Every structure is written in C-alpha cells, then in structure tokens.
Amino acid sequence: MSEMQAVEAHEAVAHQFDDMEQQHDAATLGMWIFLVTEVMFFGGLFTGYTVYRSAFPAAFAAGSRLCEVLLGGTNTGVLLLSSLTMALAVRSAQLDRRKHLIFFLICTMLLGLVFLSIKGLEYFHKYEEHLIPGSRFAFAGPDARQVQLFVYFYFAMTGLHAFHMIIGVGVVLVMLLLAFQGKLTSRRYDTVEVAGLYWHFVDIIWIFLFPLLYLVDLHK
Amino acid sequence: MTHVVPARTYVLVFAALLALAIGTTEIARIDLGPFNAVVAITIAVIKALLVALFFMHLLYTRHRTKIIAAAGVVWLAILIALTLSDTLTRNWLPVPRPW
C-alpha cells in the first residue's frame, strides 16, 4: 500500500470504526433496519388492501379493470431496468470506474423520472375520467362505492410509492454530485451502496403493487 | 467485505425479472379462478427475492443482515395473519348483534 492509499484509507474510516469492513457492515445493517420499518409502513396499506379485497372481490376486480395495464407494465420494465443500472453503478464505484459510475447514475435518475412521468400520465387519465375518489367520482357499473374504495387504495399505494420514487431520484442526484467531486471511490462506496439498497427496495414495493392493482381481473 | 458481483450476473437477474414480469401479465389473462392471485403473489415473491439476493447483495452479506431482512417479512406476516383472523371469521356463528 502506497502512502497515498494509506492516507486515503485512514480518511475513509470514521473514527468510531475499527476498519473498513466494520464500517461497511454498520452502514448496510443500518439501512436494512430502516427498510424493515418501511416494510411495516407499506404493510398497513397492503393489509387494508387484503382485508377489503377479500370482502369485495367483484368490486376490486372491476376497479382493477380501470387500470391501464400497458402503462403499468411499461413502468414495471422501466423500474426493473433502473434497478439494473443502479446495481451497475454500485459495481462501478467498487471498481473505481468513475465515468461508468456517473453514466449509470444518470441512467438510473432518468429512468426514475420516466417512471414518474408515466405515473403522472395515468393520474391525469384518472382525473379526466372522473376516477379521483371524492365528490366527483363517477363509476357507471355496480358496486360504485366499493370500486371507489379500490381506487382509494390505488391512489394511496401508488402515491406513497411515487413519493418514495421522488425521494429516490433526489438521493441519486446527491450521489451524482458526490461522484462528480470524486468522493465515491472503491474505499468509500458505502454511500452509493446504501442509496442502492433504498432504490431496490422501492422497486420491490412496485413488484407487489403491479399484480395487486393492475392484474386482478385481466381474463374477462 | 467488498464483494464485486460480475456484471453478467446482474444482467441475467434483470433478464429473469423481465421474463417474470411478462409472464405474470400473460398468466393473469388466463382464468385460473382463485389461483390467479396465488400465482401472481408467488411470482412477485420470486422477483422480490431476486432483487434482494442479488441487487441488494443479501446473498453476500452476513447472516445478521439476513435475519434483520427476514424479520421484516415475519412481522408483516403477523400483521396480515392476525388482521385476517378477525375479518375473515366474522359472522361464523349466528350470534345476534346488539348494534
């Protein structure tokens, strides 16, 4: 190890940690504990959804038919691709490939923005068709009130998810600034690793939202 | 504990995720009765596992981190199971309601 590397290694470890490995463990463990609280945060909505879907299966099927599978499916692909670029960004940081890191972070951020734009388009269609829950909600078929309940869940769950996406895009933007400053090297890539954990978690939430909201009753 | 995963692995996982996403959409078009929901959730769990194990490096972390991640799933299962044990079992007995 050259003198330069030794100095850098010393600076990369915060003084409360013995070595890089312990610091890396603490960083990822802390993020995982936060993500577990997030599971419980979304878990309340998933539980409520399960209770009401088991109570009103026909209305939830009718509500699901209001969702645009093509847009939702496209968004699934966009988000999965963004997870790939995020994983490759972390890998680039591990290997000290700064240009690749910046490229993959930009890809991730752009894909996140594409996801949010498509989501916004879906919301706009819901608005045009009077499918926003509230006094102007209009549904012609039977069980209109129970269908409105489904749409409540649709907006609460995708809304909370979109909010997490907005935060995620902000986090990736910060990673991008750090990468430009050369602060994400193989010795201190914990920052981008932890940001990646958050990004992938938000992807996992969507993996469950897509079949629960869009694919309930595609076969009729 | 830097473990660099080959880029090939990430691309393969992504391909599997994409195939499962298309698969779940196509299977949803077939009427399987109550098994539509079972298949949809099973595929979603497989996809979530792929993301957690490879993209989130859970496969390469210490057991302690794996236990923490599993705890989230266990507590969510308790939340859903205990709630449903109430809502699904109402009106099982012909007890007159006082309200």
Residue A143 has pLDDT above 80, yes or no: yes
**Interface contact A207-B52, CB threshold 8 A:** no
**Interface contact A94-B2, CB threshold 8 A:** yes
Q: What distance in Å separates residue A30's CA from the closest CA in chain B?
A: 9
**Interface contact B48-A69, CB threshold 8 A:** no
Task: Please give the C-alpha separations between residue A212 and each of B28, B74, B87, in angstroms, as whole numbers.
Answer: 11, 20, 19
User: Which residues of chain A have a CB within 8 Å of the CB of B30?
Assistant: 219
Q: Which of A47-56, A121-130, A211-220 has the lowest mean pLDDT?
A: A211-220
How many domains is chain B built from? 2
Which residues fall within 8 angstroms of residue A55, CB to CB, at 6 or more apart?
B87
User: What is the maximum span of chain A, computed from C-alpha positions, in angstroms?
Assistant: 75
Instruction: State the DSSP H helix or E strand holding residue B13, giving kind and residue range, or none if neither.
Output: helix B7-27
Contact at 8 Å (CB) between A170 and A89? no
The C-alpha atoms of residue A52 and residue A48 are separated, in whole angstroms, by: 6
Which two structure tokens, joined as six digits, stand for A3?
């003198």
- Tell whether B4 and B43 lie within a shared domain: yes
Nearest chain B residue to A37 by CA: give it.
Answer: B72
pLDDT at res. B1: 47
Contact at 8 Å (CB) between B79 and A47? yes
- Tell whether B50 and B68 lie within a shared domain: no
Nearest chain B residue to A44 by CA: give it.
Answer: B79
- Tell whether B50 and B72 lie within a shared domain: no
**Interface contact A219-B31, CB threshold 8 A:** yes
- Tell whether B51 and B69 lie within a shared domain: no
Nearest chain B residue to A208 by CA: give it.
Answer: B44
Nearest CB among A32, A43, A84 relative to B69 is that of: A32
In terms of residue numbers, what domain contains B84? 61-90
pLDDT at res. A21: 84
Under the banding of pLDDT at 50, 70 and 90, the label for residue A122 is: very high
Residue B52 within a domain: yes
**pTM score, two decimals?**
0.92
- Tell whether B2 and B42 lie within a shared domain: yes
The C-alpha atoms of residue B98 and residue A136 are separated, in whole angstroms, by: 36
Nearest chain A residue to B46 by CA: give it.
Answer: A207
The C-alpha atoms of residue A116 and residue A139 are separated, in whole angstroms, by: 26
Which two structure tokens, joined as six digits, stand for B45?
């769990």
CATH (residue range A40-214): 1.20.120.80
pLDDT per position as a tens digit, A37-77: 999 999 999 999 999 999 999 999 999 999 999 999 999 99
Residue B14 within a domain: yes
- Tell whether B72 and B52 lie within a shared domain: no
> Which of A35, A219, A210, A122 lies closest to B17, judged by CA?
A210
Which one of A38, A64, A75, A76 makes the best mutation probe of the B interface by having the most chain B beta carbons within 10 Å?
A76
Residue A218 has pLDDT above 60, yes or no: yes
Residue B98 within a domain: no
The C-alpha atoms of residue A189 and residue A181 are separated, in whole angstroms, by: 13
**Interface contact A200-B2, CB threshold 8 A:** no
What are the residue boundaries of the structural domains of chain A, listed by start? 40-214
Residue B35 within a domain: yes
ipTM surpasses cut 0.90: yes
Residue B70 within a domain: yes
Which one of A80, A94, A96, A97 makes the best mutation probe of the B interface by having the most chain B beta carbons within 10 Å?
A80
Indicate the angle between helix axes A3-12 and A20-55, nearest 10 degrees. 40
- Tell whether B40 and B68 lie within a shared domain: no
Q: What is the pLDDT along chain B (99 residues), one digit of tens a residue?
A: 468 999 999 999 999 999 999 999 999 999 998 899 999 999 999 999 999 999 999 999 989 999 999 999 999 999 999 999 999 988 788 777 666
